[in-house]
Amino acid sequence: MYKPLADEIRPDSLDDVVGQRHILGKDGMLRRIVDSGQIPNMIFYGPSGTGKTTVARIIAQRTNRSLRKLNATTAGIADIKKIIDELDTFLTPGGVLLYLDEIQYFNKKQQQSLLEFIEDGRITLIASTTENPYFCVFNAILSRSTVFEFKAVSPQDIAKAVQRAVNIMNSRRDRPLSLGPGVLERISTACGGDVRKAMNAIELLMNLQPKTATVLRDGRETEIPAAEVVQGDTVLVRPGESLSVDGVVLTGKSAVDESMLTGESMPVDKQPDDKVFGGTVNGAGALTIRAEGVGRDTMLAGIIRLVEEAQSSKAHIQRIADKVSAIFVPAVIGIALLTFLLTALLTRDVAQAVTRAVAVLVIACPCSLGLATPTALMVGTGRAAGMGILIKSADALETACRIQVMILDKTGTITEGKPTVTDLIAYGLPEREALRLAASVEQLSEHPVARAVTDSFDGELAGAKDFQSLTGRGVSAQVEGKTIRLGNRRLMEEAGIAVETDVRPLEEQGKTVLLMAVDDRLAAVIAVADPVRDTSRAALDSLQRLGIRTIMVTGDNPRTAAAIGRQVGIDEVVAGVLPEGKVEAVEGYRAEGLVVAMAGDGINDAPALAAADVGFAMGGGTDIAMESGDVVLVGGGISALATAVQLSRATMRKIKQNLFWAFFYNIIGIPVAALGFLDPIIAGAAMAFSSVSVVTNSMLLKKSRLERRG
């Protein structure tokens, strides 16, 4: 059974866990607890991919207790009851060790249901969370648990895991992989301390590469591992195969699907002397190519490096409250000491001095300050999730409010990503009959344009005989005794068929025009295009009303791109670019001091998504795009882009309001307390009211009105 790479490299002992030496080292507290064999209730907190689950599994293996695992994102009271029902049975003779992942998603009632069994020792709880446990874990659970902080893993430690992953990848291949100079270091720094993220990125990207290739050596066909192909080899690519290397076509004609590089659904016709790229998919014709780019010199390997470099260059946003607290807390302690000293000196009343100092400390307790940011972020991300906007980090939510430039891919983002018939003009026969004949021929072709034609006809098709695929020109066949030719103007010219109709207006709209001849006479003109999403125009209008500059960057030809740009009212269009061109566009605008977002769905968009300040990945796109993006739009459309920006701005307003209230409250309260006008009990009540006010203000985000167009 296949196992994800991140799961396959999971260590079996504490010695093999990367990072966390402060708790798992020789003298680390957690290490000593595990070695003792007396496992208490524990809570692990820290960023994703830092080893919390791995350590919990290792601990479970070293106890005599039955392991039960729950994930709070999907589990409920019924799942807890099942575990409770097993207690004191032959299934759990030594009790249960319960590993509860993402405990922050359990409400108070769900956490309380475990309390009785934790107290009597029948359940030993190990819970993990990415949030501050002092905010999200029920106090009674917290007081009965030992809390351990897991920190982001250093690049040096991640390098060990990456090397282990490479060894596992090598075990799956006929020929071991080798990492080029500096690659290990780039991968180790690109994941931001998240080991799982590093493993996922490696696996997703490396698995795109074909494992074998057919080369022509000494006049013989030989199948070899793709890693063994060298520059200058002649590689045979059969119909439907993926290309293993970059190179130049020597012989043959075919249409190659380059969507993984360009994002465009229309295959590109290839003939001798044309360049082709590894990872793309050959169409109906056989090709021989001269290998020029192999291994880490291929375009696909370049995409891998671009993603790694872009991710490693992104800085983390520091929390406003954290910066302020570092100054505020020492300052309050200083004010309290000063209040005590001055009161004692002036009044000669030590009790009064203590009372005033305590009142200052109580009224200045930074609870509201600590709650100001996390509560607003929690409510903001929660509301976003309810609207189909999955925000991976608080950094992304914070940055989205400052977006000035939105760069968008075309295919699959602004357009549907699926070619369809948009126009049909028939000459001398009914339009439906013309479409039936065209679809009857195209049913034998695998070309995306052919599928668009066949999908557009909802009736019964006729059988086709003597089918021919004429690479770069079109197709021909016999249908019901008639000779049908369907393709471009070049096909018509070769057959001596006069084409008097003007198709330039259709071509200027960015459409692919097919000419159909029946028995050597022009019978129909069929236009195929990737239609714009119904929501795209409204979505882009919403972004522009928010003051965001919209730019489309696409691998498609300039004419098609310009036509789509005019249709949706986009500000600027950049066409004919490869993945590195999209990254250059992002970095160019960032170099101007602008905050840049990128929206895309394809493998070719992944480097730009990672390079942008905020990357929006379409939910229906590739796994690599979603891995590289900071925000995933579950619905797959761009109508939620403006909503995400508005929600980000609303969240940041709430944070600023909360911080203002917290500071205003303290500015007023501290002098009052220091002068003796505030009893510590009243100060405590006022402090609690301040915290409640901050939380209530954050909850109002749920009621904020957001414009959602499209």
User: Which of 394, 401, 396, 381 is closest to 47 using CA atoms?
Assistant: 394
Per-residue confidence (pLDDT) for residue 524, from 0 to 100:
92
Per-residue confidence (pLDDT) for residue 252, from 0 to 100:
86
Tens of pLDDT, residue by residue over 406-455, are 998 887 788 887 788 989 999 989 999 999 999 999 888 767 788 889 98
Phi and psi based region of residue 106 (left: phi greater than 0; alpha: psi -120 to 50; beta: remaining)? beta
What mean pLDDT is predicted for residues 550-559?
83
pLDDT at position 390 over 90: no
Could you tell me the pLDDT band of residue 705, with boundaries at 50, 70 and 90?
low
Could you tell me the pLDDT band of residue 316, with boundaries at 50, 70 and 90?
very low
pTM of this structure: 0.54
Catalytic residue among 409, 601, 613, 630: 409
- Rounded Cα gap, residues 399 and 419, in angstroms: 35
Per-residue confidence (pLDDT) for residue 407, from 0 to 100:
92
> Mean pLDDT in the chain?
78
Per-residue confidence (pLDDT) for residue 393, from 0 to 100:
72
Sign of CA dihedral 403, 408, 413, 416: positive
Per-residue confidence (pLDDT) for residue 186, from 0 to 100:
58
- Rounded Cα gap, residues 370 and 358, in angstroms: 20
Q: What is the share, in percent, of the chain residues with pLDDT greater than 90? A: 8
Tens of pLDDT, residue by residue over 320-354, are 555 666 676 787 788 888 888 888 888 888 888 88
Q: How many residues does the chain have?
A: 710
Tens of pLDDT, residue by residue over 258-310, are 755 555 556 777 888 888 887 777 776 788 888 887 766 666 665 555 444 44
Per-residue confidence (pLDDT) for residue 439, from 0 to 100:
92
Residue in this structure with the two tokens 């076509």, named with its chain if needed: 249
Going through 238-286 in order, the beta strands assigned E by DSSP cover: 246-251, 254-257, 268-270, 275-276, 281-282
pLDDT at position 253 over 80: yes
pLDDT at position 238 over 50: yes
Is 27 an active-site residue? no
What mean pLDDT is predicted for residues 127-153?
86
pLDDT at position 673 over 80: no
Phi and psi based region of residue 476 (left: phi greater than 0; alpha: psi -120 to 50; beta: remaining)? beta
Query: What single letter denotes the amino acid at residue 352?
Result: Q
Helix (H, G, I), strand (E, B) or coil at 424: strand
Q: What is the share, in percent, of the chain residues with pLDDT greater than 70? A: 79
